[in-house]
Amino acid sequence: MPTSEAPALVWFRDDLRVADNPALTRAAASGRPMVALYVLDEVSPGIRAPGGARRWWLHQSLTALAADLARLGIALVLRRGAAGAIVPALATALGAGLVTWNRRYRAAEIEVDRAVKAELAAKGHAPESFQAHLLHEPWSVRSKVDEPFRVFTPFWRSACAGAEPRAPLPAPARVRGLQTVPASDRLEDWALTPTRPDWSGGIAAAWTPGEAGAAARLKTFLDDEFAGYAERRDRPDLPSTSRLSPHLAFGEISPFQIRRAACHAVESGRSAASRRDLDKFLAELGWREFSYHLLGQFPDMERRNIQPRFDAFPWQPDPELLAAWQRGRTGIPMVDAGMRQLWQTGWMHNRVRMICGSFLVKHLLQDWRAGEAWFHDTLVDADAASNPASWQWVAGSGADAAPYFRVFNPVLQGEKFDPDGAYVRRFVPELAGLPSAYLHAPWTAPAALLAAAGIRLGSTYPRPVVDVAAGRDRALAAFDQLKSSQ
């Protein structure tokens, strides 16, 4: 066949979208007949299988992507197994003249991609990879002395001082689909969605996975929720943040698209958001970039303390305490509300993630890795970089971490960030009848008030699994022990 008739294979991974997808755009521009591939790889060494919530989302997102690609005339082939074997084999079977993908950044994934690239190149399949998931690739931001950063503020200042991130790409308009499509798995056979029991109802009600859902979420945020972001973003009781994180995690929308749309909304005056709101929002996207920057330096940070001195921390593993935390039955309303929001909707507000994380690690002295693993399984936005980096930030073992001795008081945090108690009342309905003054510390309420609200502590709602003040003292004592053991 003439060279230009040798097909182009586009390998989709964390980029389940057709707009601003450089790998797809490159393949379309080649003029070759095209086919798309997604590989569910749970077997390559070091690959971390998606948790339950992400598996549910993946099913929906692949369904949406297949439909979007079909509208362009491109088939999506699904295969399950080791990507390192599947991609080159399919390229060879097709006689591919071009194979494209967008880069990913976990060490095990980089390893797979490097090997695939070498094999494809050796066999003449012309592999090409692109930047799409991050505004700044982990190795591209360097200090004046040519080192990576370990502290966020100078990292972000340096990143922002560099070249402006590129404009997002439109979805390709003219493509040629491959006529004879290779065999594909059936998505249903991957059993990504839960059946017995089907716990996905709350998650399904809260989200619209897929590229169109991501674009709609961005539009609603910019039109209705962006103004006041700098002030309101810590309030879990308000629609105060974008809730774009799962869409970003699956690449249904790119940071380039979000950045450009947010800047345009403010600069054109279309949004009532201020310059300060914009800078704060972009800095949060910056924390995502910084997490990947750390992942580049600490490839095993999902398992290992970034600060090795924390290896000697005297954790006190306790399965019952861990289970109470996971189920939202600690007796601390703000913690329980957060953990139930996570279980019901697959997502938790950032401020509450910090409160719940701090409570687990400090008040309960449970290893941050137990919290990270639970979040990995239950978050729809569970992210290879942001989840471990944030847990290490909370635990104090991270690079630019909250100091260990700063222990969040979950009662005061609740009173400050959920002042009317709307958030707790929504997720801990058994406390709904309690006046706001006692809602975040029901054990301090007079017996008559508890009775009037239908609450029996220890029966309808747990007593605190730990005394808040004593738990703080115990955490500080454990930290002192760590310091004196160094």
State the binding site. Answer: 229, 241-245, 281, 381-383
Active site residue: 368, 374, 387, 393, which one? 368
Judged by beta carbon, residue 357 or residue 414, the one nearer ligand FAD is 357
* Min separation Cβ 416 and ligand FAD, Å: 17
Using an 8 Å Cβ cutoff, are 482 and 310 in contact?
A: yes
Binding-site annotation, residues for FAD: 229, 241-245, 281, 381-383
- Structure tokens, 172: 């390709």
* Min separation Cβ 353 and ligand FAD, Å: 4
Which residue type is seen at 180? Answer: T
Cβ-proximal residues to 267 (8 Å cutoff; 6+ apart), any chain:
none
* Min separation Cβ 342 and ligand FAD, Å: 10
* Min separation Cβ 248 and ligand FAD, Å: 5
Pairing mode, strands 98-102 and 8-12: parallel
Active site residue: 325, 343, 391, 393, which one? 391
Catalytic: 443?
no
Catalytic: 315?
yes
Using DSSP, state whether 260 is helix, strand or coil. helix
Cβ-proximal residues to 43 (8 Å cutoff; 6+ apart), any chain:
81, 82
Judged by beta carbon, residue 175 or residue 248, the one nearer ligand FAD is 248
* Min separation Cβ 258 and ligand FAD, Å: 7
- Structure tokens, 360: 């687990």
* Min separation Cβ 155 and ligand FAD, Å: 12
Judged by beta carbon, residue 305 or residue 387, the one nearer ligand FAD is 387
Binding residues vs ligand FAD (CB under 6 A): 233, 241-245, 248-249, 284-285, 287-288, 291, 350, 353-354, 357, 375, 379, 381-383, 386-387, 390-391, 394
Pairing mode, strands 33-40 and 8-12: parallel
Judged by beta carbon, residue 184 or residue 220, the one nearer ligand FAD is 220
Distance CA 358, CA 414 (A): 13
Active site residue: 111, 128, 137, 284, which one? 284
Distance CA 135, CA 332 (A): 39
Catalytic: 368?
yes
Pairing mode, strands 33-40 and 76-80: parallel
Check residue 46 and report its DSSP letter. T
Judged by beta carbon, residue 249 or residue 445, the one nearer ligand FAD is 249
Catalytic: 199?
no
* Min separation Cβ 42 and ligand FAD, Å: 19
Catalytic: 231?
no
Using an 8 Å Cβ cutoff, are 278 and 266 in contact?
A: yes
Using an 8 Å Cβ cutoff, are 299 and 107 in contact?
A: yes
- Structure tokens, 306: 């970034």
Residue 366: C-alpha distances to residues 212, 237, 280, 339, 469 (Å): 40, 27, 32, 16, 17
Judged by beta carbon, residue 66 or residue 407, the one nearer ligand FAD is 407
Catalytic: 305?
no
Which residue type is seen at 201? Answer: G
Judged by beta carbon, residue 38 or residue 156, the one nearer ligand FAD is 156
Check residue 146 and report its DSSP letter. S
Furthest C-alpha separation in the chain: 86
Active site residue: 190, 199, 315, 443, which one? 315
Active site residue: 111, 190, 350, 430, which one? 350
Using an 8 Å Cβ cutoff, are 351 and 237 in contact?
A: no
Distance CA 335, CA 330 (A): 7
Distance CA 365, CA 357 (A): 11
Task: Quote the distance between the C-alpha of residue 188 and its chain's center.
Answer: 24
Residues designated as active site: 284, 287, 315, 350, 368, 391
